[in-house]
C-alpha cells in the first residue's frame, strides 16, 4: 500500500462556532427571567452589496439565538455628523447593548474616528480606538470579533501559542493589530507584515503560526509556508462566479502546512458567533 500525499489538518470553524453559540444561548437564557433581551444595532451608511449580505447573515444568526438585531440605515450619503450622532444616541440608549459600525463608509470618512462615539461597553466589534488602546494596555475590552475568532479557532483545535513564532500578514485595526495584541497576551512572539514588508516569503516561512489577513487571493503560496506550520486564512475574497476564496493558495500550501483553516468555513463562522457572544456578554454586563 502506498501512502497518499501528506495534507494539512483542516481547522474547520463550524464546531468552534457551535460551541460559542451554545455559550451565547446559555447567557441569553440566564438573562431572560429578568426580561432582558440582548439588543444589537448595526449602523450602516452604504449600499454595498457584500455589506448588505453580511448584515443579513448577522441578523439571521442573531434571530436563531434570540438576540434582537436591527439596522439603522443612514444611506450612502450620510455625513460624519449623522453617523457619529447616531452612534452617540445608541450609546446613551439603555435598551441597546451592542453597536456595530458597518463598513465601508462613505468616501473620506474614518471608521476609527467615528467609532470613538461608541461607548466601549457596547463596542462589541472592537471598532473604537479606545477598545484597541485598552486591549494593548492589557485592560478588559472587546477585541474585533474576527481577531478574537482567530484565537478561538486556534484554541478549539488546541494549537499551542506560548513561545511560538506567530506571523500576521496585514496590519489593519480590524484584524492584524488587535490580533497581534491577543497573540502577545498569549505569549507568542509576534511579527506583523504588510504591503511594504521586504521579502515577505522569507518572513512568513519562519512562522510556526501564520495568519493571512491581507485580502489578496492566493497571496500565500507554497514558498511562504514552513513545513508543519499552522496556517489561518482570514481572507475573504469574492470570486467572479459568486464564490469566496481566502488569501492562501490552499492546494499549494496543504501538502506543506501542518494545519490550515478553510475558506469558507474557517474563521468566518467563528467571527459571527463571537460577535453575538459579545453582544450577549454586553447585555449581561449592563
- For residues 123 and 233, what is the distance between their CA atoms, to the nearest angstrom? 25
Greatest alpha-carbon pair distance for the chain in Å reads: 69
Q: In the complex, what is the shortest distance from the CB of residue 197 to ligand NAP, in angstroms, rounded to a whole number?
A: 6
Q: In the complex, what is the shortest distance from the CB of residue 23 to ligand NAP, in angstroms, rounded to a whole number?
A: 18
Starting at the edge strand that comes first in sequence, how are the strands of the sheet with 209-212 ordered?
A: 9-10, 259-260, 230-233, 209-212, 165-169, 189-193
Residue 54 or 283: which CB sits closer to ligand NAP? 54
Q: In the complex, what is the shortest distance from the CB of residue 82 to ligand NAP, in angstroms, rounded to a whole number?
A: 23
Residue 19 or 89: which CB sits closer to ligand NAP? 19
Q: In the complex, what is the shortest distance from the CB of residue 235 to ligand NAP, in angstroms, rounded to a whole number?
A: 4
Q: How many residues does the chain have?
A: 286
Residue 29 or 195: which CB sits closer to ligand NAP? 195
DSSP-derived 3-state class of residue 157: coil
Residue 180 or 193: which CB sits closer to ligand NAP? 193
The answer to whether the peptide bond before residue 274 is cis (omega within 30 degrees of 0) is no
Residue ranges binding ligand NAP (CB under 6 A): 146, 169-172, 174-176, 193-197, 200, 213-216, 219, 234-237, 267-268, 271
- Give which of 152, 34, 45, 44 is closest to 99, Cα–Cα: 44
Q: In the complex, what is the shortest distance from the CB of residue 34 to ligand NAP, in angstroms, rounded to a whole number?
A: 32
- For residues 280 and 269, what is the distance between their CA atoms, to the nearest angstrom? 17
Residue written as grid cell 439588543: 39
Residue 84 or 274: which CB sits closer to ligand NAP? 274
Residue 45 or 267: which CB sits closer to ligand NAP? 267
**Which residues are CB-neighbours of 69 under 8 A, at least 6 positions away?**
39, 40, 41, 42, 58, 59, 62, 63, 279
Q: In the complex, what is the shortest distance from the CB of residue 206 to ligand NAP, in angstroms, rounded to a whole number?
A: 15
Amino acid at each position: 500500500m502506498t501512502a497518499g500525499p501528506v495534507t494539512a489538518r483542516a481547522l474547520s470553524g463550524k464546531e468552534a462556532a457551535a460551541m460559542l453559540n451554545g455559550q451565547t444561548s446559555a447567557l441569553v437564557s440566564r438573562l431572560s427571567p429578568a426580561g432582558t433581551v440582548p439588543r444589537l444595532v448595526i449602523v450602516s451608511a452604504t449600499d454595498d452589496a457584500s455589506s448588505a449580505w453580511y448584515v443579513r447573515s448577522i441578523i439571521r444568526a442573531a434571530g436563531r439565538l434570540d438576540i434582537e438585531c436591527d439596522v439603522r440605515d443612514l444611506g450612502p450619503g450620510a455625513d460624519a455628523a449623522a453617523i457619529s450622532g447616531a452612534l452617540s444616541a445608541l450609546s446613551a440608549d439603555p435598551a441597546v447593548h451592542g453597536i456595530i459600525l458597518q463598513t465601508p463608509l462613505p468616501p473620506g470618512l474614518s471608521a476609527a474616528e467615528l467609532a470613538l462615539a461608541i461607548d466601549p461597553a457596547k463596542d462589541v466589534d472592537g471598532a473604537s480606538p479606545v477598545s484597541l488602546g485598552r486591549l494593548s494596555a492589557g485592560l478588559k475590552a472587546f477585541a474585533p470579533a474576527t481577531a478574537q475568532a482567530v484565537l478561538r479557532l486556534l484554541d478549539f483545535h488546541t494549537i499551542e501559542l506560548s513561545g511560538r513564532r506567530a506571523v500576521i500578514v496585514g496590519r489593519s485595526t480590524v484584524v492584524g493589530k488587535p490580533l497581534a495584541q491577543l497573540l502577545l497576551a498569549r505569549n507568542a512572539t509576534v511579527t506583523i507584515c504588510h504591503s511594504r514588508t521586504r521579502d515577505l516569503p522569507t518572513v512568513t516561512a519562519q512562522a510556526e503560526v501564520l495568519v493571512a489577513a491581507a485580502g489578496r487571493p492566493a497571496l500565500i503560496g507554497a514558498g511562504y509556508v514552513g513545513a508543519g506550520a499552522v496556517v489561518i486564512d482570514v481572507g475573504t475574497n469574492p470570486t467572479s462566479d459568486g464564490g469566496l476564496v481566502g488569501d492562501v493558495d490552499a492546494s499549494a500550501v496543504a501538502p506543506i502546512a501542518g494545519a490550515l483553516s478553510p475558506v469558507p468555513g474557517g474563521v468566518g463562522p467563528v467571527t459571527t458567533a463571537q460577535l453575538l457572544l459579545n453582544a450577549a456578554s454586553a447585555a449581561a454586563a449592563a
